[in-house]
């Protein structure tokens, strides 16, 4: 199973170190899109920790996901400089265009809409990340363009 190999591989990198739990979970979440119940069980077993403790750490951090994400993940910056620069219109455009509220995934599994804390690109706000790409100086029209462009293949 490719996913379990992934988990094994990441565990190996950190050498079974309990202190690296946060980093292991983040890496697994990044590689597989989320930490599945099976992956969580494997990590707990390998580190000799109760699953409840691993779950408590996993659920604390926003970059560790416990739900499978959509094909594309949008992370919209919700912080002050982007807000002052007109972030609310962008926020509303995203919700309206995709028909889902923040935190949700579209029924067809194409898009997941999330917020992120500041990504440090404040000088070109409002800003969003689509998958690993940063888009700045957003306007409602530009958002529609980006959605069409990125989602074109879906």
Partner 1 sequence: MAYRANILINGDAPGAEAVYGAFLDELQELALCDEVQVLMTSGLGGRGVEAIVYPDSVRYVNLTPEDVARITEEHLLKGRPVLNLTQAAPEVAPLPPPAPKEVRVVLRNVGKINPFDIEDYIAEDGYAALARVLTTMTPEQVLDEMKKSGLRGRGGAGFPTYLKWTFARNRPNHPKYLVCNGDEGDPGAFMNRSVLEGDPHSVIEGMAIAAYVIGAEQGYFYVRAEYPIAIRTLRVALEQAREYGFLGENIFGSGFNFDLEVRMGAGAFVCGEETALMRSVEGQRGMPTTRPPFPAVSGLWKQPTNINNVETYANVPQILLKGGEWFASMGTEKSKGTKTFAIAGKVKHTGLIEVPLGVTIREIVYDIGGGILNDKKFKAVQTGGPMGGCIPEKHLDMPVDYESLASVGSIMGSGGFVIMDEETCMVDIARFFLDFVQDESCGKCVPCRVGTRRMLEILNNICEGRGQPGDIELLEQMGKSIVRGSLCGLGQGAPNPVLSTIEHFRHEYEAHIYEKKCPAKVCRALIEYKVDPDLCIGCTRCARNCPVDAIAGKPKEKHVIDPTICIRCGICKQVCPVAAIDVY
Looking at 3-11, 38-46, 102-110, 119-127, which segment touches partner 1 (CB under 8 A)? Answer: 119-127
* Footprint on residues 23-52 left by partner 1 (CB under 8 A): 23, 25-26
Does residue 34 contact residue 65 with C-beta atoms inside 8 Å? yes
Q: How far is the CB of 26 from partner 1 (least distance, A)?
A: 4
- Which is closer to partner 1, CB of 82 or CB of 150? 82
Among 116, 105, 114, 115, smallest CA distance to 154 is for: 105
String of contacts with partner 1 for each residue 79-98, x by CB under 8 A = xxxxxxx---x--x---x--
Residues 6 or more apart in contact with residue 94 via CB below 8 angstroms? 74, 76, 102, 113, 128, 143
DSSP structure string for 97-116: HHT--TT-B-TTSSEEEEEE
Q: Which is nearer to partner 1, 110 or 124 (CB)?
A: 124
Which residue bears the tokens 């293949």? 153
Minimal distance, residue 22 CB to partner 1, in Å: 5
Going by C-alpha positions, the residue among 49, 75, 80 that lies closest to residue 131 is 75
The residue ranges that bind partner 1 (CB under 8 A) are: 17-23, 25-26, 56-57, 60-64, 78-85, 89, 92, 96, 116-125, 127, 133-136, 140
């Amino acid at each position: 199973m490719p996913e379990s190999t992934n988990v094994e591989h990441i565990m190996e990198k950190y050498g079974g170190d309990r202190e690296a739990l946060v980093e292991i979970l983040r890496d697994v979440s990044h590689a597989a899109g989320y930490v599945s119940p099976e992956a969580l069980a494997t990590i707990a077993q390998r580190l000799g920790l109760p699953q409840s403790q691993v779950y408590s750490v996993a659920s604390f951090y926003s970059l560790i996901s416990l739900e499978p994400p959509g094909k594309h993940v949008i992370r919209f910056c919700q912080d002050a400089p982007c807000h002052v620069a007109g972030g609310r219109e962008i926020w509303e455009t995203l919700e309206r265009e995709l028909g889902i509220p923040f935190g949700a995934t579209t029924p067809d599994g194409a898009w997941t809409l999330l917020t992120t804390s500041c990504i440090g690109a404040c000088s070109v706000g409002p800003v969003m990340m689509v998958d690993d790409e940063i888009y700045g100086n957003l306007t409602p029209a530009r958002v529609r363009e980006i959605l069409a462009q990125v989602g074109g293949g879906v």
